[in-house]
Structure 1
Amino acid sequence: MQAVLDGTVLADASDADVVTIEGNWYFPPDTVTSQALSMSDTPYTCPWKGEAQYFNVQTGEGSHQDAAWSYPEPPASAIGRVGRDFSGYVAFDPKVTVG
Structure 2
Amino acid sequence: MKAIWNNTVIAESKDTKVVENNHYFPKESIKEEFFKSSAASTRCPWKGEASYYSVEVDGMLNKDAAWYYPQASHAAKPIENYVAFWKGIKVTE
Normalised by the shorter chain, which TM-score bucket? over 0.9
For 1:18-97, what aligned pairs fall within 5 Å after superposition?
Answer: 18-79=16-77, 85-97=78-90
TM-score (norm 1): 0.87
Counterparts of 2:25 and 2:45 in 1: how far apart (Å)?
Answer: 21
The structure 1 segments of at least 4 consecutive aligned residues displaced by more than 2 Å after TM superposition are none
Deviation at 1:3, TM superposition (A): 0.3
Q: Which amino acid is the alignment partner of residue 24 of structure 2?
A: Y
Counterparts of 1:77 and 1:13 in 2: how far apart (Å)?
Answer: 23
- Aligned 8 A contact 1:6 1:61 in 2: no
**Which one has the bigger strand percentage?**
2
Structure 2 residue ranges without an equivalent (≥5): none
Q: Partner of 2:79: helix, strand, or coil?
A: coil
What is the root-mean-square deviation of aligned Cα atoms in Å?
Answer: 1.1
Q: Deviations over 1:50-87 (max 9, x none)?
A: 010111000115000011000111111223xxxxx111
TM-score (norm 2): 0.92
Identity %: 36
Counterparts of 1:4 and 1:60 in 2: how far apart (Å)?
Answer: 13
CA separation of 1:26 and 1:4: change in aligned 2, threshold 3 A: same
Equivalent pairs, count: 92
Q: Partner of 2:71: helix, strand, or coil?
A: coil
